[in-house]
A and B are shown apart, each in its own frame.
Chain A
Amino acid sequence: MGLLIDEKICDACGICIGHCPFGALEILSGRLAVKDTCRLCRLCIKSCPRSAIMLEEIRQRDIDKPGWQGVMVVGEQYDGVLHPVTRELIGEARVLAGETQPVYCMLIGGDVRACAGEVLQYGVNEVFTYENPAFNYFIADVYANVCEDCILKIKPNIVLIGATPLGRSLAPRLSTRFRTGLTADCTQLGIKPDGDLIQIRPAFGGNIMARIVTPRSRPQFATVRYKVMQPAGVVEKTGRILRMPVKKQWLASGMSILDVYRMPPQLNISDCDVLVVAGRGVKEQKDIAMIEELARLLNGQMACTRPMVEAGWVSYLRQIGLSGRTVKPKLIITCGVSGAVQFTACMEGSECIIAINKDPEAGIFRVAHYALVGDLYEIIPRLIQNIEEGLHASK
C-alpha cells in the first residue's frame, strides 16, 4: 500500500510538494520521492497536473449496501429525562432519511417509557426500548452490547450518536465492534444516492474542513455535538414503541459502578444566550476581568479559547471548541480570538457573531457577522464605559 509515481510521466515540477500537508514529498536527485511521513491523504494525486501520482489499488470488499436501510439515533437519557441532543439528532435523521427511509431511535435505561413517548412525537417510525436497572449507570461495554443487538436486528444504514461524554465513549467501541467507520463531531451531514453518508468535520488540526465517507462498510457511524443540528419538529405520532428483551450476558463487564452523584448545577456555557469570549489577544491574566465585566453588563457569561485554559487563566468549563463545548447563543462577542476551525466549528451557529481582532486576515472573520478590525484594548474599555454611562443616564 502506498503512492506510486509514474516516472515516465513525472517531470519533477514540484507542484505536489506545495499541496502536501505532511511535508512528505521531496525532489531527490531530480526525482520525486515519498518520505515515511506520508499519510496517504491523496492531495498530491489531485494536485498533479500530469496525473503522474497514483495510489496502489485497494482490494474492494463486497458489501451488501441495500441490506442496510434507514437512520438510527442512539437516544440519550438520564433518569427518564431525554437529553436535548437526541431531538436534534432525530431532526437530522429525518432530513437524511427523506420521504422513503425509516427513522429509528433506541433508548437504554432503567425506565425510558416517558422518553419513548416523547421521541415518537418527533417523527420516529420505531422506538426500541431496552430497560434494566443496570442501565441506570453508564458502562460503555455493556451499552455497546445492547446497541449491537439492536443494530444487528434492524441493520440501519446510518447510526447517529450524540457527541456527549457518554456518546463519545460509547460510539468508538460500537463502530470498532462492527469494524466500520466512525466520524466524530460532524458539523454537517448529507447523503449520496447509494446511501453513502457525507460527513463534514474540521480536520488535520489545521484550518481545514474534511469531507469524509465510509464507502466500503456498513453501518456508518457519526457523532454530532449538542447545539449543532436543528431539533426535530413535533408531528402527529404514527410510529410505534417496541420493548426489547434484555439478555443477562450483556450485563457482564469488568467494570462496576460504586457510586454516582449529580454535581450541583454548574455553569454550562452551552445554555447561555450571551457570551463574551477571551482569546489569545488578551495579553495578561488580569485583563480577563475586563472581558468578564463586559459579559456581566450584557447579562451573559465569559467564555474562552483553548490557550486561555492551557495558560491556567480560565476554567475549562468556559472553553469553546472541539476540546471544550459547542455553543449557539443569541449573541457572541469574540475578543482577540484568531478563529481556528476547532473553535469556529463550535460557535458558528450563533445568531449574531461580533468579532474583534487586530488582524484583518484572522480566521474568525470568516464566520463573523460583524468583523471589527481593531484593538480590543481600545474598544472594550470604551464600550464598558459607554454601557455604564448609558445605565447611569437611564436611572
Chain B
Amino acid sequence: MDIVVCIKQVPAASNVEVDEKTGVLKREGIETKMNPYDLYALECALRIAKEHGGTVSVISMGPLQARSVIREAYMMGADTGYLLSDTAFAGSDVLATSFALSQGIRAIGGVSLIVCGKQTTDGDTAQVGPAIAEYLSIPHAAWVTQIVSVDETGIEVRQTLADRIQTARLGFPCLITVEKDIAQPRLPSYLKKKETSGRLVQVLTLQDLPDRDASKYGLEGSPTQVEKVFPPGSNIHREVWRGDKELADRLYGLLKEKKHL
C-alpha cells in the first residue's frame, strides 16, 4: 500500500509583526520547521506502513529551501520525498495549493491513502486536506483521532465532530486529516540521517504534472486576494496598571466591584 503524507515548511515562531508607526514588517531571522501537526500525520502513516506493509512518501510545495523538511521526514523514516517547486506556483491560495498537491499526487500515481495534519500553524485554515480530496474525487474524513483497522481495501477510522465520535470506513483511495493525539511522533534518528543523506528530493515543476495549464496554479489560479495587511486593532477603552503585589489588591477591588466575587 502506498501512502502519501502532505507536509509544509512553516516559520518556527510567529514573529512577523508590524511596526504600527511605519507600517513596516518587523522581521527577525525567519527560521523554519516542519508544521508540527504534520509530524503526527507522518507518524501515523509510518505506523500503518510498518504494520500493514507499504511505502510512505511525503509531498510538499514551496521554494527549494523546503527540501529541508523532506530531509527531516527521511530522518523519521519516509521512503521518498517530492517537492513541488516552480515560479508558476508562487502566490497560491488554498485552491491553487490543493490543486498543485493533487496534481503532484496524481503524478506519483498508485496512492491508496493520503494523510494530512489537521492544519498548519501559519495559515491555520485546515482547508487543504479536504480540498485535495475533492480534486481527486475521493472521500475524506477530517479530525481523525484513531485508526481502528486497515485492510487491503480500506481503512476504519474514528473522528471527533464536536460532541460526537463517529466511526467510519473509507475505501481506498481516500484522504484523512489527523488530530494531534493520534500517535506520538518519533524523533528524527541520527542513523536514518546518515542512511538517507544521499537520498534525493524529487523536485516536481509544472512540466512534471499531468495538467500543465499554468492559469490553474499560483496567483492566477487563486480566487482569493489579500488586499491589505494591517496590525490588529487596539482596544481604546483601556486602563494600564503598573506594579506588582499592589496590583493584586487593585485587581481584587475590581473583581468585587464587577461582582465576580
Residue numbers of A with Cβ under 8 A of B are: 1-2, 18-23, 35-43, 47, 55, 58-59, 78, 137-141, 144, 164-166, 168-173, 175-177, 179-185, 198, 202-217, 253-263, 265-266, 274, 297-298, 309-310, 316, 322-323, 331, 340-342, 344-345, 348, 352-354, 356, 360, 363, 365-375, 378-383, 385-387, 390
Q: Which of B73-81, B187-195, B250-258 lies at the binding interface?
A: B250-258
CA distance A345 to B171 in the complex (A): 38
Q: Which of B91, B124, B243 contacts A40 (CB 8 A)?
A: B91
- Sample of 10 A–B contacts (CB below 8 Å): A1-B87, A23-B27, A176-B95, A182-B94, A184-B126, A204-B122, A216-B223, A298-B255, A352-B258, A354-B251
The 6 closest A-B pairs by CB, nearest first: A206-B16, A40-B91, A205-B122, A382-B248, A181-B223, A181-B224
Contact A1/B226 with A205-B16, A323-B124 known, Cβ cut-off 8 Å = no
Residues from chain A with a CB closer than 8 A to the CB of B256 are: 390
Number of contacts between A and B (CB, 8 Å)? 337
Known contacts being A20-B25, A138-B161, A173-B134, is A203 close to B229, with CB within 8 Å? yes
Q: Produce 1/0 per residue, B133-163, CB < 8 A to A.
A: 1110011111100000000000010001111
Interface string of B54-87 (1 = CB under 8 A from A): 0000000001110000000000000000000101
Beyond the given pairs A345-B232, A372-B241, A373-B243, 10 more chain A to chain B contacts, judged by CB atoms under 8 angstroms and listed by A's residue number, are: A165-B162, A184-B124, A208-B16, A209-B232, A210-B226, A212-B227, A263-B165, A323-B121, A382-B249, A386-B252
Q: Flag if B227 contacts A213 (CB, 8 Å).
A: yes
Q: Are B131 and A172 in contact (CB under 8 A)?
A: yes
How close is B104's CB to chain A, nearest CB, in angstroms? 16
Contact of B166 among A259, A342, A369 (CB under 8 A): A259
| B interface: dominant SS | mixed
Residues on B with C-beta less than 8 A from A309 are: 180
Residue of chain B at shortest CB distance from A184: B125
Contact (Cβ within 8 A) B242 A374: yes
| A146 to B: closest C-beta gap in Å | 15
Tell me the complex Cα distance, A323–B35, Å. 13
Q: Which residues of B contact A214 (CB under 8 A)?
A: 223-225
A176: B residues at CB distance < 8 A: 95, 98, 130-131, 134-135
**Which chain B residues border A40 with CB–CB below 8 Å?**
90-91, 218-219
Identity of the chain A residue whose Cβ is nearest the Cβ of B15 in the assembled complex: A206
Classify the secondary structure of A's interface with B: mixed
| Cβ 8 A contact of B95, one of A140, A175, A342, A367 | A175
Q: Which residues of B contact A262 (CB under 8 A)?
A: 163-165
Given contacts A365-B240, A379-B251, contact A215 B225 (CB under 8 A): yes
Give the contacting residue for A172; candidates B30, B94, B226, B258; CB below 8 A: B94
B220 interfacial contact with A, CB 8 Å: yes
Question: Chain B residues with Cβ under 8 A from A260's Cβ?
Answer: 164-167
Contact B18 A182 (CB under 8 A): no
Q: Which chain A residue shows the least CB distance to B143?
A: A165
Complex Cα–Cα for A360 and B238 (A): 13
- Which of the residues B156, B163, B223 comes within 8 Å of A180, measured between beta carbons? B223
In angstroms, Cα B156 to Cα A262, docked, is: 19
Q: In angstroms, how far is the closest chain A Cβ from the Cβ of B172?
A: 8
